[in-house]
Homo-oligomer: A and B are copies of this chain.
Amino acid sequence: MAPPTAVAIHAITDTAAAALPEPLTVDGVAKRRHAAGKLSGGVAAATSSDLFKGFGYCKQRAKRWDGHLSKESRARQVRYSIRAPLVSMRMLSLGGGLPSSRYFPIEHLQVKVPAVGHFSEEETKESGVVLKAGKYDLSEGKGLYERGDCILSEEYTFATAVETAAPMGVGVVGIKMDDQGLLPEDMDDILTSWDENERGGARKPRLLYTVPSGQNPTGATQGLERRQALYKVAQKHDVYILEDEPYYFLQMEPYTTGGALTASLPQTHGDFLKALVPSLLSMDVDGRVMRLDSFSKVISPGSRVGWITASEQVVERFVRHSEVSVQNPSGLAQLTLYKLLDESWGHEGFLDWLMHIRKEYTQRRDLILNACEKHLPKDIVSWSPPMAGMFLWLKIDWTNHPEASGKDPVAIEGEIFQTCVDRGVLLSPGSWFRAEKFKHHDTLFFRATFAAAEGEQMEEAIRRFGGAVRGVFKIS
């Protein structure tokens, strides 16, 4: 295709357009901004720069750049599957992955800045303006691998991790799971029987991505023996492990029917630490584990700060990558965390906080499980009490569906999802989290988050979900 010819600047090619918008002026910005209204929504609400744009624009449309995009860029998929349904505000949602703001310990944030026209540091000290943002201001209306390689993960996994790899030509192979997460024997089978020819030339995987505690989406937690077995398989096949542990410190007490939480809560820091399942990192004798930690679930998702622990060699490579991408996390976020965790709370206060949320999460988990016992048809829906994290994984026995013989489970999943939406409740369909998108699954799951909705709403959401399942399966 011949390149386009040069066109005069600010050319307006279609003068037939009747009413051109007023050009944007400095004075006009405030007016347009005002017309866009207040921001609204809860914690981490979706917003858009469209809210701040003018109402019209008199440039011609850009041409298409398909030929200039790399294979990698063209292959990136829209993540509508997870994000789109979340914008609906009237729904009772157990679909998302963000805890209640109750579990993020920042009541307000304040900065002192110069008043307009008094910009010097001396003036700012005297007459600077203090800006304050409260936790609820918004909701209250105030303001490694080459193309052709494969990596391993749980058969249901954190969608973003898989979607990062896919456009780089890296495939994902899902390992079968039970209620303690991935099965080391299945991992061993996959690797032992790996045949490059059957796998389209892909080499035997050398990397495992796993979320051992409160796995997203299944809520499964690998026990100590499971982790030891997994580590041995990784050694046998020389696989490097990415241990992603955002929910590690959200481990809970065992569930007893009816939720008789009390005496078993750990009372000392030592007891609390002893009650945590040892991480894969703690068993690592080869330097084959990189553990990923995050403040996103226990301090603030908005901090965008986490940390890694790995061997010197691997950390050094990680730093090289970081230097030419994000370089550093936000300094404002780092400063906030430093003041809170180092200067104010210290390790002891942080442990107190983690013990506090352990209790809160245990109570919430018990609450949703009690609601499930009460409102779900147990001959169709089954589950295991999660031991960590914020997800409950509900298994649907689709073979009980009246048209089971002629239908794909994915079709029945869609039917349940739509019925849920009609009844005003959101849970995330299990198929959204499949590591291998195009492999046939004969199982059907929904993921519910118990970290976000308040108690009564959570029970009402489960009641509606039970109603939806009964409706679809035509039982009373």
**Which positions in A face B, CB cutoff 8 Å?**
3-7, 9, 11, 26, 29-30, 33, 44, 49, 59-65, 68-74, 76-79, 102, 105-114, 116-117, 119, 121, 124-125, 128-133, 135, 143-146, 160, 163-164, 206-207, 228, 231-232, 235-238, 240, 269-270, 273, 278, 282-283, 285-288, 300-305, 307, 310-314, 317, 320-321, 323-336, 338-340, 342-349, 351-353, 356-357
Q: How many copies does the complex hold?
A: 2
Are A311 and B131 interface neighbours, CB within 8 A? no
Are A335 and B302 interface neighbours, CB within 8 A? yes
Q: What residues of B have a CB within 8 angstroms of the CB of A144 in the complex?
A: 68-70, 73
Of B109, B207, B327, B353, which one neighbours A335 at CB under 8 angstroms? B109
Q: What residues of B have a CB within 8 angstroms of the CB of A69 in the complex?
A: 144, 317
Complex CA–CA separation, A313 to B107 (angstroms): 39
Complex CA–CA separation, A314 to B64 (angstroms): 9
Are B107 and A109 interface neighbours, CB within 8 A? no
Are A113 and B106 interface neighbours, CB within 8 A? yes
Given contacts A304-B331, A346-B29, contact A121 B146 (CB under 8 A): no
Are B3 and A238 interface neighbours, CB within 8 A? yes
Are A344 and B131 interface neighbours, CB within 8 A? yes
Pairs of residues from A and B, 7 with the lowest C-beta to C-beta distance, nearest first: A62-B287, A302-B331, A62-B311, A330-B330, A76-B320, A110-B110, A3-B238
Given contacts A302-B335, A339-B111, contact A62 B116 (CB under 8 A): no
Are B285 and A304 interface neighbours, CB within 8 A? no
Complex CA–CA separation, A285 to B60 (angstroms): 7
Complex CA–CA separation, A144 to B124 (angstroms): 44
Are B348 and A116 interface neighbours, CB within 8 A? yes
Q: List 20 A-B contacts (CB under 8 A).
A: A4-B238, A6-B231, A26-B273, A29-B346, A44-B331, A62-B313, A65-B240, A76-B320, A76-B324, A109-B109, A113-B344, A114-B353, A116-B352, A117-B352, A119-B356, A160-B324, A163-B324, A301-B331, A326-B326, A333-B333
Are B116 and A345 interface neighbours, CB within 8 A? yes
Beta-carbon nearest neighbor of A114 in chain B = B105
Known: A29-B347, A111-B336, A114-B353. 7 other contacts (CB 8 A): A6-B285, A62-B286, A62-B288, A62-B312, A105-B113, A113-B340, A302-B334
Q: What residues of B have a CB within 8 angstroms of the CB of A6 in the complex?
A: 231-232, 235, 285
Are A5 and B235 interface neighbours, CB within 8 A? yes
Are B324 and A303 interface neighbours, CB within 8 A? no
Q: What residues of B have a CB within 8 angstroms of the CB of A288 in the complex?
A: 62-63, 65
Q: What residues of B have a CB within 8 angstroms of the CB of A65 in the complex?
A: 240, 287-288, 311, 313-314
